[in-house]
Chain A
Amino acid sequence: MIAFLLKRTANAAFVMLAVALLAFVIFRFFGDPVEMMVNEQATLQDRVELRERLGLNDSFVVQYTRFVTNAVQGDFGISYRNQQDVMVLIKDRFPATFELVLVATVISLVVGIPAGVITAVYRDSRLANILQLSSIVGVSLPSFVVGILLILAFSVSLGWLPAFGRGETVDIGWWSSGLLTPSGRAALILPAISLSTFQVTLVMRLVRAEMLETLRADYIKFARARGVPTARVQWRHALRNCLMPVITLTGMQIGNLIAFALVTETVFQWPGMGMLFIQAVTFVDIPVMAAYLMIVSFIFVVLNTLVDITYAWVDPRLRDDTARANG
C-alpha cells in the first residue's frame, strides 16, 4: 500500500510540474508583464530596472524554477488589476466555489444512485419511465438555462429563495462558510441544484447501466439461491459492485464542477473562483489566470490520486497486488 501511495504521489507531482510549465509559459509570454505594470510615463530606464528587478533577464530555466518554488509556497505574484496578492484573492473566493461544488456533488449522489438503482430494478415501471424521461431533459438542458428557470420559478414567482449572492457567511479561520447561517444555506440551494442537474442524470445513467450488468452476474443469482432477500441482493450485493465507476466519475466530475462552476456562478452572481477567473480574463490579469490554472489542475490531480486510492479501498482485488508485492 505504501509503495502504491508513493508511486501515485510521484505521478501526481510530475503532472503538476508539467502544468506549472504551461502556466509559466502563459505568464511569461502572453504580453509583457513590464508593460502591464508600469504606467504611461515610465522611462526606458525605469522599464529596464523593473525588468532586472523582476528577474526577467534570467534564463528560462532559472525563471521556471523560481516560478515553481514560489508556487509551491503559494506565491503566485500580484494581480495586475487590483494590486493584491493573487493567493489572497483566491483564498477569499475558494470556499464559495468549494461549498457549492460539494453540495452539488452530494445532491448528485443522493439523488442519482437511488434513481439509477430504481430504473434498473423496476425497469418497466411507471416511476422508472418518468425518471428515464426526466434524465433526458436533465442531460439536454444547459446549466445556465436550468439556473435561469430556477430563478424564475423559486425567486421571482414564488419568492422562496434568493436569486443571487451567498447570503451571510461565518469565518472559520480564513475559510468563510455559508453553510452555517440560514441565509447562506438558502442562497446555496438554487445554484447547487442548477450545478448538479447534469451530474444527477450522469450518475443515474451510469448506475443504471452498471446495475443491469451486475444483476446478471452469477454471484447475484447465487446470493438469491442462498436465500438473501431481493432488496438486500439489489442494494447491497449488486450496488456495491456498481460503485467503482461511480467513484471514478464523481472524482473526475468534482474537478469539472469546480472548473465549470463559473457558468453557474455567473448566473447566480456567486462570489467564487469562477467569477474571479471571468473577471481576470476580461482584464487580462495573467497572474490570476495562471494561479487559477494551477489550482484547478492541482485539484484535478489530487482528486485523481484520491480516486485511485479509493479504488484500492473498495475493491480488495486491487489492494492485494500491492500487498503481495510487499511480501
Chain B
Amino acid sequence: MSDVVLDVQNLRVEFPTRKGILTAVDDISLQIRQGEILGMVGESGAGKSMTGMSILGLLEPPGRIAAGTIHLSGDRIDDLDDTAMQSIRGRRIGAIFQDPLTSLNPLFRVGDQLVETIRLHTDLDKSAARERAKDLMREVGIPAVEERIDNYPHQFSGGMRQRIVIALALCAEPELIVADEPTTALDVSIQAQITALLKRLCRERGTAVMLVTHDMGVIAETADRVAVMYAGRLAEVGTVDDVVRRPKHPYTSGLMGSIPSLRKDVAELQMIPGSMPRLNAIPPGCAFNPRCGHAGPRCHRDIPRIDSTHTGAACWLGTKGEVA
C-alpha cells in the first residue's frame, strides 16, 4: 500500500446554517494509487465537488471538515493552515476546474500565469520558467507556442484554454490532480480530446487523478476505478468494469440504465423515480430508500456502509434477506 497517493478516511464536510448543520459529505473513505484515475460520479449536489475542494483545502466558508483525515503520500493535509496549504496546492496537488472560460485570469497573458505558477513552486529563474512553460504548452498540444505564450486567455478557444488549465495543473509535477468536471463546459467533440490528453499525461507521469464528473461516458473511457456518490455518501466503489457492467447498488444500476446508447435500440430510457433528497431532508437509514425498488425495513433503519476494503456497494441488498 506504499503507492497510495491520496488516502481519505471517514471524511465529513459540514455547513453550519441558521437552520442547523448540513452534512454535504458524510463519512467518505477512498484511496487513489499512483497513476490511477478515480472517477467520482453522482448528481449535482451529491458532494463530489465538495470532496475535491476539501482535498484542495478550498472549501468556501462556512463549510468545514468536521471529521476524518486526508493523507497525501503519507502526510496529513486536512489540518494544515492556509499558508501551509499554499505550498501544497499547485505543487503537490494540481487542480482543473469546470469552466476553462473563467478559470484563467482575463488580464494576464497565459504565459505569465504559467510562469507565475512554475516560479512559485520551483527554483527556476524567469527565463528557465518561460522555457518550461513553453514545453508544457507544447505537451498539452498548443500549436505555435512561441506566439501563443504571449496571448491572453480570450484569444484561445474553450478547448485550448482547458489545455492551458491542464498545463497549469501540471506545472510542478504534482502527485495528485483534482479535476472537477474538466470537460462539462466543452463541446462533445473536444471533450474526448481533453480526457484523452489528461489520461495520457497522467499515465506518463504516474500522477494520481480524482476525476469528478457526472458523465458516465467520460468515466468509462478514462477512469480505472469509480466511486458513485449519492446525497453526500458513497453508494458504490469498484473498478469501472464492475460498476458499469455489474452494478451492485440499485442507484448505480439506475444510473447505468439512464444512459442513452446509440447501439442498443431501447424503446424508452429507464429512469430513477423521484429526485435526490435535499441535504436537510435525508431520510433515516439508506439515503436512497425512498427511490429504491428493493428497500426493506432495514434500509429505513440503518445506514449501509462500504466495508473496510473500500470496494463494493453501500447496500443491504448484498446478502439475501438482509434488507428485511
Which A residues fall within an 8 A CB radius of B?
A: 217-219, 221-230, 237, 240-241, 314-317, 320
Bitwise, B158-185 to A at CB < 8 A (1) or not (0) is 0000000100100110000000000000
CB neighbours (8 Å) of A222 from chain B are 95, 97, 103-104, 165, 168
Q: How many cross-chain pairs have Cβ atoms below 8 Å apart between A and B?
A: 78
Add 14 more A-B contacts to A240-B105, A317-B106 (CB < 8 A).
A219-B102, A219-B106, A222-B97, A227-B88, A227-B91, A227-B120, A228-B86, A228-B90, A229-B86, A229-B120, A315-B107, A317-B154, A320-B154, A320-B155
Determine how close the nearest CB of chain B comes to the CB of A244; give it in whole angstroms. 9
* CB-based contact A218/B102 at 8 Å: yes
B152 and chain A: residue at smallest CB distance: A316
Number of B positions contacting A (CB below 8 A): 32
B99 and chain A: residue at smallest CB distance: A218
Q: Could you tell me which residues of chain B, from 105 to 157, have a CB within 8 Å of some CB in chain A?
A: 105-108, 113, 116-117, 120-121, 152, 154-155
> Provided the pairs A225-B97, A226-B117, A226-B120 are in contact, do residues A218 and B103 lie with their beta carbons within 8 angstroms?
yes
A227 and chain B: residue at smallest CB distance: B90
A230 to B120, CA, bound (A): 13
B101 and chain A: residue at smallest CB distance: A218
Determine how close the nearest CB of chain A comes to the CB of B101; give it in whole angstroms. 9
B121 and chain A: residue at smallest CB distance: A227
CB neighbours (8 Å) of A217 from chain B are 102
A96 to B82, CA, bound (A): 50
* CB-based contact A225/B105 at 8 Å: no
CB neighbours (8 Å) of A228 from chain B are 86, 90, 116-117, 120
CB of B214 closer than 8 Å to a CB of A: no
B60 and chain A: residue at smallest CB distance: A221
Determine how close the nearest CB of chain A comes to the CB of B205; give it in whole angstroms. 18
The contact sample of 16 A-B pairs, CB cut-off 8 A, is A217-B102, A218-B102, A219-B105, A221-B97, A224-B86, A225-B95, A225-B97, A226-B113, A227-B117, A228-B86, A228-B116, A228-B120, A240-B107, A241-B105, A241-B107, A316-B106
B168 and chain A: residue at smallest CB distance: A226
CB neighbours (8 Å) of A241 from chain B are 105-107
B165 and chain A: residue at smallest CB distance: A222
A320 to B154, CA, bound (A): 9
CB neighbours (8 Å) of B107 from chain A are 240-241, 314-316
A315 to B108, CA, bound (A): 9
* CB-based contact A226/B99 at 8 Å: no
B106 and chain A: residue at smallest CB distance: A317
Bitwise, B77-101 to A at CB < 8 A (1) or not (0) is 0000011001111110001010100
CB neighbours (8 Å) of A221 from chain B are 58, 97
A320 to B151, CA, bound (A): 10
* CB-based contact B97/A218 at 8 Å: yes
> Provided the pairs A217-B102, A218-B102 are in contact, do residues A225 and B58 lie with their beta carbons within 8 angstroms?
yes
A237 and chain B: residue at smallest CB distance: B105
A18 to B89, CA, bound (A): 58
A226 to B91, CA, bound (A): 8
* CB-based contact B95/A226 at 8 Å: yes
A241 to B153, CA, bound (A): 14
* CB-based contact A224/B89 at 8 Å: yes
A79 to B104, CA, bound (A): 59
Determine how close the nearest CB of chain A comes to the CB of B181; give it in whole angstroms. 12
Determine how close the nearest CB of chain A comes to the CB of B191; give it in whole angstroms. 19
Complex partner residue of A230 from B86, B108, B172, CB under 8 angstroms: B86
Complex partner residue of A225 from B89, B108, B120, CB under 8 angstroms: B89
Determine how close the nearest CB of chain A comes to the CB of B63; give it in whole angstroms. 13
Determine how close the nearest CB of chain B comes to the CB of A138; give it in whole angstroms. 30
CB of B299 closer than 8 Å to a CB of A: no
Determine how close the nearest CB of chain B comes to the CB of A48; give it in whole angstroms. 66
A223 to B114, CA, bound (A): 11
Determine how close the nearest CB of chain A comes to the CB of B282; give it in whole angstroms. 27
B85 and chain A: residue at smallest CB distance: A227
> Provided the pairs A218-B99, A222-B103, A314-B107 are in contact, do residues A320 and B152 lie with their beta carbons within 8 angstroms?
yes
CB of B56 closer than 8 Å to a CB of A: yes
In order of increasing CB-CB distance, the 4 nearest A-B pairs are A227-B90, A225-B95, A218-B102, A227-B89
Complex partner residue of B103 from A219, A237, A314, A316, CB under 8 angstroms: A219
Complex partner residue of B58 from A219, A224, A320, CB under 8 angstroms: A224
CB neighbours (8 Å) of A317 from chain B are 106, 152, 154
